[in-house]
Amino acid sequence: MIRTPLCDLCGITYPVFQGGMAHVSDGKLAAAVSEAGGLGIISAMNFGGTKLREQIREARALTSKPIGVNIMLQAPSAAESAAVCAEEKVEIITTGAGNPSAFMPLWLEAGCRVIPVVASAALAKMMERCGAVAVIAEGGESGGHIGEAATMPLVPQVVDAVKIPVVAAGGIADGRGLAAALMLGAVGVQMGTRFIAAKECGVPQHYKDLVLKASDTSTIVTGRRLGHTVRSLKTPYSRHYAQVEYTDISDEDLEALGVGSLRKAAIDGDEKGGCYLAGQIAGLVKEEQTAAEIVEDVVREAEEILRGADRWLTD
Ligand code: TUI
């Protein structure tokens, strides 16, 4: 059994979060992960206020355990989602792609616990001052929107910068990753890519198949020129974007190439125009499993590693 302060902080059995993935994680996936003892997180990105409320209630009908909602701060619906989370008294709110300071008083007043994703020690410190109960330090190995630092250097530097607990994310998909994160001083992990292949994840099968057949070199980073840096799987679409990104194409045309591409991948199953977000660890994900099997596998493997962790020590 692995128990860390994150378990008591969030009311969960295992220190494993399922990352809130835009257009991918809904109430059904989140409820399955929470029911399995981790923290399932709904992405608010997919929904307007009414739909988000429905998803939260759907998740609550499927599990009595705590659930989370992730708010992508650059989404046009961020303020509406923030208000719904406060009204529904969502246990845990995570944020991404920005600084959530403006929403913190609303959430804290409603009794929500806020755990922002940070890509730097400076933002982690600011979040601690604003009342965050923990932070998620996410390295650039992650899928989706990324910062500059990689997980291995970011996590210990964030751990040293704040007194609140730190969750590690980016490049983690199994028990080795969880054990390593704990060694870096984190109290748990957030995983996204491995949960794309969860049986309860409702993305089109093509998306899952792309993850399942990925290798260690299957991802590519695009969008830096327009400030929407994202890591996705190499597909004809993402290779084309990368090829034209630093040509004389106008900002407007480049923007148009990206518009709706996440939705096209995760909802519409548009194999040609979709941008299939996934992390560098995709090559490690080899089978479709239930959320419960994923959570149990990861925790059991980490436990075994940690029990044997003194094997290199001599007297
Ligand atoms: O947010 C994510 N991952 C995402 S969001 C997303 S949706 C999207 N849609 C259109 C274009 C781009 C993305 C897909 N994937 N992860 C959390 C995350 N947050 N990663 C990095 C950050 C981050 C970066 C800088 C958080 C804060 C930050 O600070 C900036 C500041 O304002 O200080």
Please write the tens of the pLDDT for every residue from 93-108.
999 999 999 999 999 9
- pLDDT tens, residue by residue, 267-313: 999 989 999 999 999 999 999 999 999 999 999 999 999 999 999 99
CB 172 within 8 A of CB 151: yes
- pLDDT tens, residue by residue, 225-284: 999 999 999 999 999 999 999 999 999 999 999 999 999 999 999 989 999 999 999 999
Q: Which backbone phi and psi does 217 adopt, to 5 degrees?
A: -110, 25
Take atom 28 of ligand 1 and give the residue whose Cα is closest.
98
pLDDT at residue 18 greater than cutoff 90: yes
Å from CA of 170 to ligand 1 middle:
13
Å from CA of 145 to ligand 1 middle:
4
pLDDT at residue 47 greater than cutoff 90: no
- Only one residue has tokens 């479709």, namely 288
- Cβ(65) to ligand 1 under 6 A? no
Helical packing angle, 251-258 and 236-245, nearest 10°: 170
At 248, the amino acid letter reads: D
Atom number of ligand 1 nearest to Cα 45: 7
Calculate the alpha carbon distances from 253 to 47, 194, 245 in Å. 26, 33, 10
Atom number of ligand 1 nearest to Cα 123: 33
Q: Are strands 219-222 and 230-233 parallel, antiparallel or unpaired?
A: antiparallel
CB-CB neighbours of 93 under 10 Å: 28
- Cβ(279) to ligand 1 under 6 A? no
Take atom 17 of ligand 1 and give the residue whose Cα is closest.
96
The span from the CA of 191 to the CA of 314, in Å, is 34
pLDDT at residue 184 greater than cutoff 80: yes
Which pLDDT score is estimated for 48?
Answer: 87
Residue among 117, 203, 275 whose CB has most ligand 1 atoms within 8 A, to mutate:
117
The residue-averaged pLDDT of 3-23 equals 98
CB 109 within 8 A of CB 117: no
Tell me what the pLDDT averaged over the chain comes to: 97
CB 187 within 8 A of CB 12: no
- Cβ(291) to ligand 1 under 6 A? no
pLDDT at residue 46 greater than cutoff 80: no
Instruction: Specify the higher pLDDT residue, 263 or 46.
Output: 263
- CATH number, domain 5-202+284-306: 3.20.20.70
| Strands annotated E in the chain | 16-18, 41-43, 68-72, 92-96, 113-118, 135-138, 144-145, 166-169, 188-191, 219-222, 230-233
The span from the CA of 159 to the CA of 165, in Å, is 8
The residue-averaged pLDDT of 106-127 equals 98
- Cβ(72) to ligand 1 under 6 A? yes
Listed by start position, the domains of the chain span: 5-202+284-306, 219-277
